[in-house]
Amino acid sequence: MQIGNIRLENNIFLAPMAGITDKTFRIICKEMGAGLVFSEMVSSKGLYYGDKNTDELTSIDPRERPAALQIFGSDPNIMAEVVEKHINSRDDVDIVDINMGCPAPKIVKNGDGSALLKNPHLIRRILKEIIKVSKKPVTLKIRMGWNPDSINGLEVAKIAEEEGISALTIHGRTRNMFYSGDADWDFIKKVKQSITIPVIGNGDIFEPIDALKMLKYTGCDAVAIGRGAMGNPWIFKRIELLKEGKEDIEPTYEDRINMAIKHLNMVCNIKGEKTGVREMRKHMAWYLKGIRNSNIVKNRINTIVTRDEMEEVLQNYLLELNTIETK
């Protein structure tokens, strides 16, 4: 598959998720077979005003490329200037992605994210200004609309195509649904049938078979997996196995615990021990979900402040599980 001039190994992508798809997790998902990874969303105003924390979010490792840097905002001039002055010159950024789908109240109250779906005229201005200056392919992520009374994702998709967007990701929910209910794959199908640029389907891919079902049902060119990849980076490799007609292989509890340890060490090396250990608590909950006696271990992990102790708890847990298994 290709987006603009960027050739991708496959059409199974890691969707952007704030606080989750950091550099470490993107590298892991790339190693597990993701064809494209997206950064956490980055504030265009933060980049414009030189905020140090915002700038750190844009860091991309060679191991995760090709990678898309996702920005959000609602000021066409600021967003265009950020692309022109901060992103164009970066060799590590392959694709610029624009977020117009985030439903979070703190994003929406500033008129950013999915709030833009209420203003197609402003959407056109933003896309026009960015595409005018960008030296990289520009993609867009949207939802179906703001609420059931204003489902205008089709209109926005056509605006995106007219303005020269290289690909469109559509999440099959409205803003007011957040992540509840079922994603509307019929709407994704309708968008795919209405525009000629690549369409990336997003929403409710939790098992490898779901990706194949979405691709077949909607006809979309690719799928982006968000929550389904949390604690489950194997999903990308497993989908590829199914696409090749091979047998799906589920990760064992041993695979999951070993990956959790690898993730812990990587994030501590990249972000430092204090931040890394704190951030791993949520990932640990996802990695260990459903494993025997995992609640006791998760509660213990939530109190841990050092890398060595966290790893020790996981190694002991693995030993305990192996002992139970061999009895």
- Domains in the chain with CATH codes: 2-243 (3.20.20.70), 253-326 (1.10.1200.80)
Q: What pLDDT does residue 54 have?
A: 87
Please give the residue that has the higher pLDDT: either 56 or 110. 110
Q: How confident is the model at residue 1 (pLDDT cuts 50, 70, 90)?
A: very high
Query: pLDDT digit string (tens) for 218-276?
Result: 999 999 999 999 999 999 999 999 999 999 999 999 999 999 999 999 999 999 999 99
Kindly report the three-state secondary structure assignment for every residue of 106-159.
HHHCCCCHHHHHHCHHHHHHHHHHHHHHCCCCEEEEEECCCCCCCCCHHHHHHH
Query: pLDDT digit string (tens) for 297-323?
Result: 999 999 999 999 999 999 999 999 998
**Pair 101, 142: CB distance under 8 Å:** yes
Q: What pLDDT does residue 150 have?
A: 94
Region of 219 (left: φ > 0; alpha: ψ -120 to 50; beta: rest) is: left
46 Cβ partners below 8 Å, 6+ apart? 53, 54, 55
Q: Which residues are catalytic?
A: 102
Q: What pLDDT does residue 78 have?
A: 98
Q: What pLDDT does residue 87 have?
A: 97
The answer to whether residue 280 scores a pLDDT higher than 80 is yes
Q: What pLDDT does residue 327 have?
A: 61
297 Cβ partners below 8 Å, 6+ apart? 288, 313, 314, 317
**What is the residue-averaged pLDDT of the chain?**
96
Q: What is the pLDDT averaged over residues 77-81?
A: 98
The answer to whether residue 79 scores a pLDDT higher than 80 is yes
Q: What pLDDT does residue 22 have?
A: 96
The answer to whether residue 325 scores a pLDDT higher than 80 is no
**Tokens at 246, concatenated:** 């091979």
The answer to whether residue 154 scores a pLDDT higher than 80 is yes
